[in-house]
Amino acid sequence: MARILITSAIPYINGIKHLGNLVGSQLPADLFARYMRGRGHEVMFLCATDEHGTPAELAAAKAGKPVQEYCAEMHKVQADLARGFRLSFDHFGRSSSQRNHRLTQHFAGRLADNGHIAEVSEKQVFSIDDNRFLPDRYITGTCPNCGYEAARGDQCENCTKQLDPTDLINPRSSISGSTNLEVRETKHLYLKQRALKDKLEAWIDSKTDWPVLTTSIAKKWLNDGDGLQDRGITRDLHWGIPVRRGDQPWPGMEGKVFYVWFDAPIEYIACTAEWADANGRHDADWERWWRTDKGAADVTYYQFMGKDNVPFHTLSFPATILGSEEPWKMVDYLKSFNYLNYDGGQFSTSQGRGVFMDQALSILPADYWRWWLLSHAPESSDSEFTWENFQASVNKDLADVLGNFVSRVTKFAQSKFGDTVPAGGDYGPQEHALIADLGARIRDYEACMNAIEVRKAAAELRAIWVAGNEYLQSAAPWTAVKTDPDRAQAIIRLALNLIRVYAILSRPFIPDAAETMMQAMGSSDWTWPDDLPAAMRSLTPGQPFSVPENLFRKITDDERADWQTRFSGVRS
């Protein structure tokens, strides 16, 4: 049994996330976690809300609430939506937790002790009209590199060049739009990333199995232009983790907080400590996942995130870990995703364009969305959500292939043989050929899941569903029952066992439907079908089964048209 640590990029606290955010990190991480649990491995699957920084302060102010209250409320909203989508986190934490306060301050102290922190007097943009220093991302202007007019002060989204706010041409406050800005001197702490470049490069080079997307982004940030830069880890803000050197005050840093990019990844570790606290565990119980000197050496650590998060997880967070010179577990495999676009454009919160997580669950159950998103995951390139594609995929894959198989088998079995698994006959050449074919297909499915090739895994699973339908059509129990009832009973007994196998294989993708299938078969045995011939005899003659309600209903043309209009962002 392997020990698998899985973290999903932690969503920011301000607002409900759209389907592109979901498929870019949390959902594929959940797929992998469920699969690994299904194979019998010990899994720790973690996520949290990212709660610090100016965006949280501004969102709270807009809502007319103290920032702590706003973050607590939004954490509950995001946790509830995660449960709605059946995301199986072992713990869904908060970056504002006291555990993260202490760990972030600990890492800062270790980095300083090891000579990796510099105190830098710098000039920062101060908005006179807003009466505050402006964080990098709240200064907008023209990129000096590519001319993009809406570049942020930390990075240009158009050309991805890392920037300082003072680099921008014609800067303005993103908060108020004011151009009444001036540069004032302030002192901040910098993580000396350049001094760690050789270690970071050697570590990245050792990850020969990473996706091309991940490695290419990491190498670009490491070497392009001026290469890896030292990066500020503190800000002049009120909301955040106070700057301390371990448990001691940091002279000259009074009133400052750690920059959100620094403390947010540390929450992965803190979240595990929060899990231990919430479950009455000891420090040793979470340290065995993170400290290689306390049991984590045999852990395999996977991270899931959108491509925009890759630089911080391949460079800055690893620099924190390496610079601490402590035996912390580092990521083994980083799965990154491109973007999901929406119906010819982009998701837009401000324009009400696209489907957000709460809206999705209000119109269809989670499995419908899980299946489409995962089977169309933006792995090798950006992908696009269209209502026509969504309707076709749900109706064909879920309703016509899987749902139809379950319905035909159980209804026929009940009408001809009653409410228990029929006993007549035995498997013949056709059944043995199907079992051999399915065994090979299941191995292909496992290979895709082990490699975290999400779209390929979905295609393999669908092919397994199709094979069952083709067998049923060829074996034709509705014809055999008229001339050879024993033969018909053997066909149906195999098909009922196949429904149970489908439940096990499908559970990572569509957990609710899988539970329904398993319950209908009167079973609670989720053992992975490593021995498929035995698995196809798991349901024995005389065992009760039931006819489940329709697993998946079809989406009508009228519904599709209505939803397409409703979520287009077009204002009436």
Q: Which residues are annotated as a binding site?
A: 143, 146, 156, 159, 349
Tokens standing for 55? 């965006």
DSSP string, 334-375: EEEE-PEEETTB--BTTTTBS-BHHHHHHHS-HHHHHHHHHH
DSSP 4-25: EEEEEPPPBSSS--BHHHIIII
Q: Which tokens sit at 463? A: 């092919």
Q: What is the DSSP letter of 409?
A: H
User: How many whole angstroms separate alpha carbon 412 and alpha carbon 327?
Assistant: 60
- Round to whole Å and give the CA distance between 439 and 508: 18
Both tokens of 225, joined, read 């232009």
- Binding-site annotation, residues for Zn(2+): 143, 146, 156, 159
Q: How far, in Å, are 51, 97, 125 from residue 239 at the CA level?
A: 9, 13, 19
Rounded Cα distance, 5 and 29, in Å:
11
Residue type, 376: H
Closest CA to 450 of 24, 7, 16, 32: 32
Q: Are 339 and 213 in contact (CB under 8 A)?
A: no
Nearest to 149 by CA among 159, 164, 135: 159
Is 180 strand, coil or helix? coil
Supply the DSSP symbol for 326. S
Residue 360: exposed, middle, or buried by beta-carbon count in 10 A (0-12, 13-18, 19+)?
A: buried
Query: Are the C-beta atoms of residues 158 and 143 closer than 8 Å to each other?
Result: yes
Q: Does residue 483 contact residue 340 with C-beta atoms inside 8 Å?
A: no
Q: Using the 8-state DSSP alphabet, how is residue 194 labeled?
A: G
Q: Rounded to 5 degrees, what are φ and ψ at 212?
A: -55, -40
- Contact, 31 vs 509, CB < 8 A? yes
**Which parts are annotated binding residues for ATP?**
349
DSSP H or E segment with residue 105: helix 98-113
Cα–Cα separations (whole angstroms), residue 483 to 234, 480, 486: 80, 6, 9
| Spatial distance between the Cα atoms of 486 and 480, rounded to a whole number of angstroms | 9
- Cα 453 to Cα 424: distance, rounded to the nearest angstrom: 41
Exposure on the CB side of residue 48, measured as CA atoms within 13 A: 24
Write out the E strands in 426-512. none
Distance CA(541)–CA(81), nearest Å, equals 41
